[in-house]
Amino acid sequence: MIRTRGRLSWRDERVVREEGSSACTFKRSLCALLAGHYDESSAFVVDDYPYGFRLRTQIRYWLERVPKKGVRFVSQTMDPKTSRWNKPKKSMFSRFAEAMYLDEIGHVQTRALNEYSSAGDVADYLRTFGMEGTMPELRDFVVVDEPTEEARARRATGA
């Protein structure tokens, strides 16, 4: 296991170096898919979130959908001194899909597909999340084939 320094060091990321590739990818195992959180009123709320050095507060997460732009991850904390919600922090838009999930240590993570995602990334996303959180544009570019009876029989026999 390789430990990273800086921004990712506190999360205990596992770095996996793929054979034949010089690029490293950060992978976390999926524990729970967070579906149906698409606005402030239906956001996923974490109650015990650090705020500054000593204070604790709430944070809420959701995925914002804009029809012509895509999906983006939004987080918003509550000011513990005034009990008012702070300004939402919004990520960049992902044109095709974005999913929110809890990892093995209970942190909220996201996974996105955009026009720069490779075919392997798309296949991995669809294998993990299915069509959850996808925009209609993705359905125009990706064809999900159901396996035939012959393919199922070959897979069952191991041939």
Cβ neighbourhood burial of 47 (10 Å; 0-12, 13-18, 19+): exposed
Total Cβ atoms within 10 A of residue 26: 12
Instruction: Please tell me the distance from the alpha carbon of residue 13 to that of residue 105, in angstroms, as a whole number.
Output: 11
| Tens of each residue's pLDDT in the chain, 159 residues | 333 333 332 333 333 333 333 333 345 566 788 888 989 999 999 999 999 999 999 999 999 998 888 899 999 999 999 999 999 999 999 988 888 988 888 899 998 888 888 888 888 888 888 776 677 767 666 655 555 666 666 666 765
d(CA 16, CA 26): 7
For residue 50, the one-letter residue type is P
Question: For residues 59-72, b (16+ Cβ closer than 10 Å) or e, as one string?
Answer: bbbbbbeeeeebbb
